Amino acid sequence: MPRYIVERTVGTLTREQLDAAARKSKDVITSMQDVRWVRSYVSDAEGKIYCEYDAPSEASVREHAQRAGLPVDRVSEVSLEISPAMFI
């Protein structure tokens, strides 16, 4: 299944706001069988969240965001995943 990175501009959010967004995201995912939220990275300095998803298509990722009420600046499909362990 393809992996996607979603860039979201959110400004500075409180921990409570982040928790509420995460709960809403998880609620929506339960009704979307093929979409899996892998993890997210928060940058308070940039006011952005970068989220990793496995999904059948970019459209599925965007549908999840729309249903969860989450902003989407950009969706990028990952073509290759590498890690330092691969180069030992």
- 19-68 residue pLDDT tens: 999 999 999 999 998 999 999 999 999 999 999 999 999 999 999 999 99
Structure confidence at residue 9 (pLDDT): 97
Question: Domains in the chain, ordered, with CATH?
Answer: 3-80 (3.30.70.3090)
Residue 33 has what pLDDT? 85
Contact present, 32 and 1 (Cβ < 8 Å): no
Does residue 83 sit in helix, strand or coil? coil
Beta strands in the chain (DSSP E): 3-9, 36-43, 48-54, 74-78
Distance, in Å, from the CA atom of 9 to the CA atom of 65, rounded to the nearest integer, reads: 13
Check the CA dihedral 17-15-4-57 and report its sign: negative
What angle is formed at CA 75 by the lines to CA 74 and CA 81, rounded to 5 degrees?
130
